[in-house]
């Protein structure tokens, strides 16, 4: 299980396998969502540029609600893709004989 040490300045280095699973590049940001029992969920913060073309070929939304739903659906697809990438990294480690 990956671990990190908090420095006196409150900083950590995200372990390489976690950065790979989250597809993090230098300079990118992560967000911490509060979970249960004092735990936190870490997610990569995507760029608005990743949304480019997400509405291509669709009818132009007529209301804010329609636009919000389209954006929410696309964000959910990206989230699922990042989870799938994370699962693939773990599966590759198991195949390579590394502990999961």
Distance CA 6, CA 72 (A): 34
* 5 within a domain of the structure (yes/no): no
What six digits make up the tokens of 60?
Answer: 């132009």
* 34 within a domain of the structure (yes/no): yes
* 100 within a domain of the structure (yes/no): no
* 40 within a domain of the structure (yes/no): yes
Domain count along the chain: 1
Q: Are 90 and 100 in contact (CB under 8 A)?
A: yes
Tell me, what's the pLDDT at 85?
Answer: 60
Check: pTM over 0.75? Answer yes or no.
no
* 90 within a domain of the structure (yes/no): yes
* 67 within a domain of the structure (yes/no): yes
Structural domain boundaries enclosing 61 = 16-95
Distance CA 89, CA 24 (A): 13
Point out the residues of the chain with pLDDT beneath 50.
Answer: 100
* 85 within a domain of the structure (yes/no): yes
Task: Count the Cβ atoms, other than its own, within 10 Å of residue 21.
Answer: 22
CA distances from 63 to 58, 70, 74, 88, 90 (A): 14, 11, 17, 38, 41
> What pLDDT, in 10s, does the model give residues 10-28?
999 999 999 999 889 999 8
* 10 within a domain of the structure (yes/no): no
Q: Are 8 and 67 in contact (CB under 8 A)?
A: no
Distance CA 45, CA 48 (A): 10
Q: Are 57 and 74 in contact (CB under 8 A)?
A: no
């Amino acid at each position: 299980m990956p671990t990190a040490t908090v420095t006196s300045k409150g900083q950590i280095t995200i372990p390489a396998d976690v950065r790979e699973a989250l597809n993090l590049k230098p300079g990118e940001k992560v967000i911490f969502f509060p979970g249960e029992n004092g735990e936190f969920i870490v997610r990569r913060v995507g760029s608005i540029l990743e949304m480019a073309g997400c509405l291509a070929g669709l009818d132009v939304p007529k209301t804010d609600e329609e636009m919000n739903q389209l954006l929410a659906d696309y964000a959910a697809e990206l989230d699922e893709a990042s989870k799938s990438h994370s699962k693939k990294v773990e599966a590759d480690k198991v195949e390579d004989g590394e502990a999961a």
